[in-house]
Structure 1
Amino acid sequence: MPETLSEKNKLGLWTSTSLVIGNMIGAGIFLMPAAMASFGSIGLLGWVFSAIGSFFLAKVFSNLSKLLPHATGGPYAYTRDGLGDFIGFLVAWGYYLAVACANAAITISFVSALSTFFPVLGSSSFIAVATGLCSIWLLAYINTLGVVAGGKLQLVTTILKVLPLLLVAIGGLFFIKAANFSPFNTSGSGIISALQATATMTMFAFIGIESATVPSGSVANPEKTVARATMLGLLITTFIYILGSVSVIGIIPAAQLQKSLTPYADTAVIIYGSNARYWVSAGIAIAAFGSLNGWTLLQGQVPYAISKDKLFPPIFSRTNKKGVPYMGIIISSIMVSLFMTMNYTKGLVAQFKFLLLLSLLSVLIPYLLSAAAYLVIRVRKTPQAGGWAGAIMLAILAFGYSLWAIAGAGQEAVYYGFLLLLAGIPFYVWAAFRKKAE
């Protein structure tokens, strides 16, 4: 966004932090304890492992935000600055499509969560699609009103989605039964294999850790705010994830938990009574809605940053009087609407799932390359600074964790993800010729 925006029209610490928390905590976290129940309580170590790896990434993004405080675009801006136009473009191309696919999936989760209160959404594809489209375009409209409008909504939805999770996480500590934590490993494999499997599952819950870096140009005092928001968002989210898992696993026996379709709601009923199921279900819907809002804000910022660098069509760099890249939001919302509708269209469901598989790697690659770009940018920006041993170690650990995460995504995701990135090369060649001609 234009640097001329006044401070009151920019995101502050708490709205930036809510963007990180809100984008990481989606509807899926409410199902995670059941998905991991078959492994035993070793799953808690999987959360810890993922949190540690995510800490290295968060620290890299935090440091990069200090080195390039006004670089709108997050991972794209960092990789382009450190590794050049081509690598930056590939990161942005994949990330942009991945966000569109993710938003479609989040919209489907939101509609599914609402079906608890409106059963017709589960039986009528037409009404489900209409509800999904209304939510997509409502949030698109809100985010064209200014980054502060989207930020305030994000703060409210983040608080509302975190509350039921905290009520279960903290209230559940008084109902835990130690016997439910044993046996420690029920996966049927060794501890290392079980730890790797659970850490692979949990690492996807930390995707979105870079969210505060993407709209850096629209953040007040970005050299301090973005770094603080990234680390604070990670700490709060990790606390909620681990403490919530401890309570759910400690209250519901593993055999019962594996069969649960609503583990957090089932736990809340034990703690607070039967009515608790409804406010947890409401929390799931709000979690999806808030996550969709946060990613909608980013889906305008990323193509705006690429277009401003003349690596994307100029239409994406158009802004309204509020300084919002509205054309990017509109075009992205059209894509999200199409992807979401595919899921409810017979014959296209498989294609939609395939798109999600394609996009998975495109979310992880920016983490890997941002870690690589970190040292390059640090050498150029602060060549006389000390602490190089720590910086090198941080980059290696963040790069290694990202590489491990990519391997954990599976062979099929890696194969098709690279094909998706390669598909962007003709667009880069076109942009390069256009840029040279100008």
Structure 2
Amino acid sequence: MAEPSKKIGIWTSTSLVVGSMIGAGVFLVPSAMASYGSVSLLGWVFSAIGAFFLARVFSRLSALVPKSTGGPYAYTHHGFGDFAGFIVAWGYYISVITANAAITISFVSAMSTFFPALATNAAAAILTGLSAIWFLAWINTRGVPASGRVQLVTTILKLLPLLVISIGGLFFIRAENFHPFNSSGGSVYDAINATATITMFSFVGIECATIPADSVENPGKIIGRATMLGLLICTIVYILGSVSIMGIIPAAQLKYSVTPYADAAAIMFGNNARYWASAGMAIAAFGALNGWTLIQGKLPYAIAKDKLFPPVFGRQNKKGAPYVGIIVSSTFVSVFMMMNYTKGLVEQFRFLLLLSTLTTLVPYLFCAAAFVIIRLKIKQSKGLPAAIIVGALAFAYSIWAVAGSGQNTVYWGFLLLMAGIPFYVWATYKKNSELKDVSEV
């Protein structure tokens, strides 16, 4: 366990939330929503409201169950026991390493603006991706404080271009670009539902401050504050950024743009601004990869400490870093990343991304329910009705998010979760055998 003097505080914890939520994918959302019209802004509002209730759940859980390393896994385990905790952890772990491979690919893509060979030379792209993965793996083996410093710096650097475009762009908007209000061809309700489904993934990562709880100063207070502050910062950036870009670039042009933030920057400051917008995208991906690398080490560590994962994942180095989990996870990330650049394996990699979508959302479902269960166990009536309402609304939003991910995603994601059962049976057998040996002694 990390020494108290080496634990992270409010700003580093907040940067972990913001840095993990704002990845390279967020830079493409305005283009994805352009065909719906300005009604898509309401999709952001709907997602932000749902994310608020989830943030409240994680904030309250961090106070009710402080020092519970593992975030969604720890809370689900506390509320529902070994099996539910393992299933959530299994799916979440696979989704994290798959997402890290996708983030690495986004980083390489952003860097191709400065090094065009990365867009055409698979070997160069793979080498760049592997360098990013293993450099950040090394940083994270230096301990949470070292990773936290990188996260804080990259979060500040990624926010700067986003804020410049989000706030500065308000002075360049043209009112006619917001018309028509709804160009989706369907009802306003359907348009909001569709755009909210697109935007909800931009709030994934809201739980990240809860996962390294054993490395946070006064986790009962700091984690909750960092989670709510991180949500506020991201919501402001997301909504203002969409307003500015939709107001600057006509919808007919925006929906075909593959670099909407860079295009907006070029209109605002000239063509050379594309480079620093692309730099912002690269830093966003790099920072997100750093944050999720920390998570991919801490999560298997927490499961191993509860004897539901191979004990080797519970090992720490002298810096308090779960180095085995970081190394094994980074190896998987490397393999998945290389699949994208290997002819014949690209579709398999995309299929892995599809599978990981559901396993990212299911933990929210369990945590919302676990919050109500844990709160009821306290047997304290003060604030109980409000807690039940918050938990119910977070649960309802999570159900909607799972349904909105699509039938294929739910089907294959469910099979992926079920694939973890043999591992759970093995872990339970080993755990019970150890307990039996101890009792016999």
CA distance in 1, matches of 2:118, 2:272: 22
| TM-score, length basis structure 1 | 0.98
Query: Residue type matched to 2:252 in 1?
Result: A
User: Following the alignment from structure 2 to structure 1, what is the Cα–Cα distance between the partners of residues 372 and 31?
Assistant: 40
Secondary structure of the corresponding residue to residue 257 of structure 2: coil
CA distance in 1, matches of 2:295, 2:8: 13
Asked if residue 107 in structure 1 is aligned to residue 104 in structure 2, the reply is yes
Query: Is the 2:245–2:264 contact (alpha carbons within 8 Å) kept by the matching residues of 1?
Result: yes
Matches within 5 A, 1:220-235: 220-235=217-232
1:104-137 deviation digits (Å, cap 9, x = unpaired): 0000000011000001101110111111111100
Correspondence 1:324 to 2:321: yes
2:384 to 380, 385, 388: 388
* Counterpart check, 1:427 vs 2:428: no
Match of 2:330 among 316, 330, 333: 333
Residue 362 of structure 2 is aligned with which of 362, 365, 380? 365
Q: Residue in 2 aligned with 1:397?
A: 393
Q: Does 1:136 align with 2:140?
A: no
Secondary structure of the corresponding residue to residue 31 of structure 1: helix
TM-score by length of 2: 0.98
Offset of 1:402 from its aligned partner?
0.2
Query: Quick one: which of 250, 255, 258 aligns to 2:252?
Result: 255
Q: Aligned equivalents of 2:274 and 2:421: distance in 1? A: 49
C-alpha distance in 2 between matches for 1:225 and 1:307: 25
| Paired position in structure 2 for 1:414 | 410
Residue number in structure 1 paired with 2:216: 219
CA shift for structure 1 position 272 = 1.8
**How much has 1:6 moved relative to structure 2?**
3.0
Q: Which residue number in structure 2 is paired with residue 16 of structure 1? A: 13
**Residue 164 of structure 2: aligned partner:** 167
Alignment deviations for residues 17-68 of structure 1 (CA, whole Å, 9 cap, x no partner): 0000011000111111111100000110000000000000000000000001
Say if 2:353 is the partner of 1:356: yes
Partner of 2:151: 154
Alignment partner of 1:281 is 2:285 = no
**Counterparts of 1:364 and 1:206, CA distance in 2:** 11
Range with bigger deviation, 7-16 or 276-285 = 7-16
Q: Deviations over 1:329-378 (max 9, x none)?
A: 00000000010011111111111111111111000000000000001111
Does 2:23 correspond to 1:26?
Answer: yes
SS at the partner of 1:310?
coil
Q: Which runs of 4+ in 1 moved over 4 A?
A: none
Structure 2 match to 1:37:
34
- Aligned residue for 1:321, secondary structure, equals coil
**Counterpart Cα distance in 2 of 1:317 and 1:278:** 43
Picking from 92, 97, 111, the partner of 1:95 is: 92
Partner Cα distance (1:354, 1:158) in 2: 30
Q: Deviation of residue 385 (structure 1)?
A: 4.0
SS at match of 1:340: helix
Aligned Cα root-mean-square deviation (Å): 0.7
Task: Tell me the alpha carbon deviations over residues 294-348 of structure 1, each in whole angstroms, 9 at most, x when there is no partner.
Answer: 0000000000000000000001000000111000000000000010011111111
- Residue correspondence of structure 1 range 286-325 to structure 2 within 5 A: 286-325=283-322
Once the 2 structures are TM-superposed, how far is the Cα of residue 76 of structure 1 from its aligned partner? 0.1
SS of residue paired to 2:382:
coil
CA distance in 1, matches of 2:284, 2:173: 25
Q: Post-superposition shift, 1:437?
A: 0.6
Deviates more, 1:21-30 or 1:252-261: 252-261
Find the partner of 1:437 among 433, 437, 440.
433
Number of aligned residues: 434
Please give the alpha-carbon distance, in whole angstroms, between the structure 2 residues aligned to 1:86 and 1:295.
24
Which amino acid in structure 2 is aligned with residue 206 of structure 1?
A: F
Consecutive unaligned residues in structure 2, runs of 5 or more: 435-441
Q: Which residue of 1 aligns with 2:438?
A: none
Cα deviation for residue 273 of structure 1 reads: 2.1
Q: Write out per-residue CA displacement over residues 243-270 of structure 1, whole angstroms, 9 at most, x where no aligned residue.
A: 0101011111111111212111111112
Write the mapping of 1:29-68 to structure 2, written as runs, cut at 5 A: 29-68=26-65
User: What are the ranges of 5 or more consecutive residues in structure 1 without an aligned counterpart?
Assistant: none
Q: Which letter does structure 2 place at the counterpart of 1:215?
A: P
CA drift of 1:389 comes to 1.3
Q: 1:345: which partner in 2? A: 342
> AA paired with 1:431?
A
User: Which of 256, 262, 267 is the equivalent residue of 1:265?
Assistant: 262
Matched to 2:353, the amino acid is L
